[in-house]
Structure 1
């Protein structure tokens, strides 16, 4: 290791901020730790109000030229960034696995290719973004999407680079400049993204990356009067603080927050398919906001569903995420592990039964858990755990299934397993959720709206919805007459 640079699995990563096209150190640092074995990966620049102000100033200075650039030029550079990501997929995958503990095979085959796709999709969508002109009493209405200004993007630790670029790509495509603040538990691939963007020709100051704790740098970013958009993915309590911080400047917010999503299994469902969907909920050690953590199973098939699920779940291989044979890796941090175990132990003390799991493993691993005999109003059913912990309840009919499914403060997603198209249509029309999957899970198209209802979020992004958020929409109305003829 040299000053300001660490080596992670053979990959060099700069630990400083990226502000205005330069690497900037801070007086203080924080230690980044791998959840795989608890080893220290390195000391990361710990930003505060000074770094926040510098990053926003750089974004503000770079905004006029970037906003004035053509759609074709912005699209070209975004495609060049995607090219850079694709050239470094293996490096990005191993660094992120080491940093956040998610499966290496998933990063290689799905997550990092999706990072590149995020840039390509929004680059291409930008070139087709249009609204047909329309007339009002002979006057022509023309809708345009104008760049809004500097954007602050605050991203989570469970899929750091993929979720960061889900925000960065449309913000840049829209003609905005960006200050990206990655989660302090998984900051490394954001630093590599800064390198890739610079190599692709993105002008200095258009993308800035600052690291640190939310309480020290996050508040300074979200309260800054020159910030014109804030997008955040994370917890409800943090979102409330961000909203309060942004309120003084009326800065528009996009918030993608927690979930307590249901998986509804009806008696007419293909049970093997339903079990496949259920086992998928342990993906990323349960650290997925969209996970259907509440199984709601029709009484007549609950025993058979449970039997098959237990057989599949207990066969999962938990271990080192760098091993191709591993199905479940570690949880991100010792504090998160304490939180997960606290939820489970309180549920067990209140009368829940652990069909499988219900305890810690070694290190930062938590045993895949399924709890039954849980009350609808209990903490374990109502609050997001964000770990490999699922609950199972039964229902007698459709009305009870819908009531149980909707009876939380959240509304991010829902999954339905049924063999009846008519039932699927009845059920999905009544579910409170931003996304509903029927006989499938985690099928996502970037042109679809994404977001949550209730405490699961504010707003929608994806396709044109992303540009609606990251732009100032303008309607220009032109009279049919009044032009002077200059010949």
Structure 2
């Protein structure tokens, strides 16, 4: 527990409206200086089972609650989080190493603002829709008097966000699920549980009925496995690595759960000849965004072959000017990685790139001398996408630059991946859009595009399934019932 934190205000798990605090302590470390941010009492497997059963019991009442009343309670829940905004921003910086500016805007204020937009989106969607049938259709001696599609909740949702933007990801699972009448068991990442645990406090304060939202922290994976295998759970929403997503899919298969999986990515940023001067700045943006710990970030930069040498020179200069250090310091450009394991992953990926003919033009080293889990912003020159650095997700401040011969070759390189989460094309709008349409990915941004609550995103292939945000992100938490009435 951090100095000055009282037992009453310490983070706790919540099950069925009751705070838990009897399990072994989970130490949450500050990745910038390795100090202890908090020690969190963890939930035991039996607590996860209790949470699932509580959510199951609460479902009938919550799903029958009028949609407007559910929305009002969800807005109260978001207001309770809003009242904790500064504390939450400080918490996100301490547990993830996010830059303070990012924590205040995207990670907290932006998360709450986008969740409020989800309430508006849900209110605009009909609970029932007319389903036309042929007027001359005779059915069992009568005629069809009504044919209706009814959108109904799935049931109990197991939600597991990743560590990089923990509150943002949690709200984009919890809020659509609650609005549509589902109940939720929420498990934060053991690497960054604190901001997500605050959702339990906010739910309690807002008066959500017991069992509607249960939040449990754990250090291992026993609870997570129970959430993905329990027959009482109807759906799993997970953000994380493709390997873990595959394991979840296998665990959920015997009970045929709905899966919403946002998994890994190796997104390409394609710079057309008229936009190549922006490539160096684009690379710097990747470094600054959660120190490269983002599944949608463009970590493969594709530029015309004749411009590649200049891009590498400009990128090296731009990256060398980035300041690595304390995420609370306004002068810092790149903060720490979440763990020592993530630093080692960056080291291993850079070493593999060099072993296969790559060349480091900037960075390339861990920086333990800075006192935390730091890795230098790194730019690697690759000959082609056969290099393992162009194929494997690093999740750190490591960007590869690859040259293309023409636009057909650029599309071929962009699509040479098992992933399909996101991508970007920069250049004159008409040509950039034409290239973007050929990229096999769940989302492609053109000249920056739009990233917000009214546009959904989601992965193809190894990057997952289903959608988050927008209309599709709401409908993902519903199932369709066809109601037919016959006149006789």
TM-score, with structure 2 as normaliser: 0.93
**Whole-angstrom CA distance in 2 between matches of 1:462 and 1:319:** 33
Q: Which residue of 2 aligns with 1:133?
A: 130
State yes or no: 1:432 paired with 2:440.
yes
- Residue-by-residue CA offset, 1:143-186 (whole Å, 9 max, x unaligned): 22112211100111000110111101100101111000100000
Q: Which residue of 2 aligns with 1:467?
A: 474
Give the counterpart of 1:417 among 406, 420, 426: 426
Q: Which residue of 1 aligns with 2:262?
A: 256
Moved more, 43-52 or 197-206: 43-52
Q: Which residues in structure 2 correspond to 1:19-34 (within 5 Å)? A: 19-34=15-30
For residue 132 of structure 1, report the CA deviation from its aligned partner.
4.3
The alignment partner of 1:95 has SS state of helix
Quickly say closer, same or farther: Cα 1:471–1:216, change in 2 above 3 A: same
**Whole-angstrom CA distance in 2 between matches of 1:440 and 1:135:** 40
The alignment partner of 2:94 has SS state of helix
The answer (yes or no) to whether the contact 1:8–1:98 under 8 Å persists in 2 is: no
Give the counterpart of 2:99 among 100, 103, 115: 103
Unaligned runs of 5+ in 1: 483-487
Give the counterpart of 1:343 among 326, 336, 349: 349
Q: Which residues in structure 2 correspond to 1:63-462 (within 5 Å)? A: 63-130=59-126, 132-138=129-135, 139=144, 140-269=146-275, 271-272=277-278, 274-282=279-287, 283-362=289-368, 363-419=372-428, 421-440=429-448, 443-462=450-469
Quickly say closer, same or farther: Cα 1:200–1:27, change in 2 above 3 A: closer
For residue 111 of structure 1, report the CA deviation from its aligned partner.
2.0
For residue 109 of structure 1, report the CA deviation from its aligned partner.
2.3
The alignment partner of 2:281 has SS state of helix
The answer (yes or no) to whether the contact 2:148–2:483 under 8 Å persists in 1 is: yes
The answer (yes or no) to whether the contact 1:145–1:467 under 8 Å persists in 2 is: no
For residue 429 of structure 1, report the CA deviation from its aligned partner.
1.6
**Whole-angstrom CA distance in 2 between matches of 1:64 and 1:144:** 17
For residue 85 of structure 1, report the CA deviation from its aligned partner.
2.1
The alignment partner of 1:116 has SS state of helix
The alignment partner of 1:97 has SS state of helix
- Residue-by-residue CA offset, 1:382-426 (whole Å, 9 max, x unaligned): 00000000001101101111111100110111111112x332232
**Whole-angstrom CA distance in 1 between matches of 2:379 and 2:8:** 40
**Whole-angstrom CA distance in 2 between matches of 1:222 and 1:48:** 16
Quickly say closer, same or farther: Cα 1:411–1:31, change in 2 above 3 A: same
- Residue-by-residue CA offset, 1:102-145 (whole Å, 9 max, x unaligned): 11111112321122123312222222112642431343322221
**Whole-angstrom CA distance in 1 between matches of 2:177 and 2:7:** 28
The alignment partner of 1:306 has SS state of helix
The alignment partner of 1:37 has SS state of coil
**Whole-angstrom CA distance in 2 between matches of 1:46 and 1:195:** 16
The answer (yes or no) to whether the contact 2:20–2:43 under 8 Å persists in 1 is: no
For residue 13 of structure 1, report the CA deviation from its aligned partner.
4.8
**Whole-angstrom CA distance in 2 between matches of 1:467 and 1:478:** 27
The answer (yes or no) to whether the contact 1:374–1:381 under 8 Å persists in 2 is: no
Quickly say closer, same or farther: Cα 1:132–1:53, change in 2 above 3 A: closer
For residue 374 of structure 1, report the CA deviation from its aligned partner.
4.4
The alignment partner of 2:225 has SS state of helix
Q: Which residue of 2 aligns with 1:62?
A: 58
The alignment partner of 2:274 has SS state of coil
The answer (yes or no) to whether the contact 1:76–1:123 under 8 Å persists in 2 is: no
For residue 269 of structure 1, report the CA deviation from its aligned partner.
1.6
The answer (yes or no) to whether the contact 1:32–1:185 under 8 Å persists in 2 is: yes
The answer (yes or no) to whether the contact 2:358–2:387 under 8 Å persists in 1 is: no
For residue 351 of structure 1, report the CA deviation from its aligned partner.
2.8
Q: Which residues in structure 2 correspond to 1:472-483 (within 5 Å)? A: 472-479=479-486, 481-482=487-488
- Residue-by-residue CA offset, 1:285-334 (whole Å, 9 max, x unaligned): 00001010001110222233223322222211211111122111000011
**Whole-angstrom CA distance in 1 between matches of 2:7 and 2:398:** 34
Q: Which residue of 2 aligns with 1:485?
A: none
**Whole-angstrom CA distance in 2 between matches of 1:125 and 1:11:** 39
Moved more, 36-45 or 335-344: 36-45
TM-score, with structure 1 as normaliser: 0.93
For residue 342 of structure 1, report the CA deviation from its aligned partner.
1.3
**Whole-angstrom CA distance in 1 between matches of 2:24 and 2:106:** 35
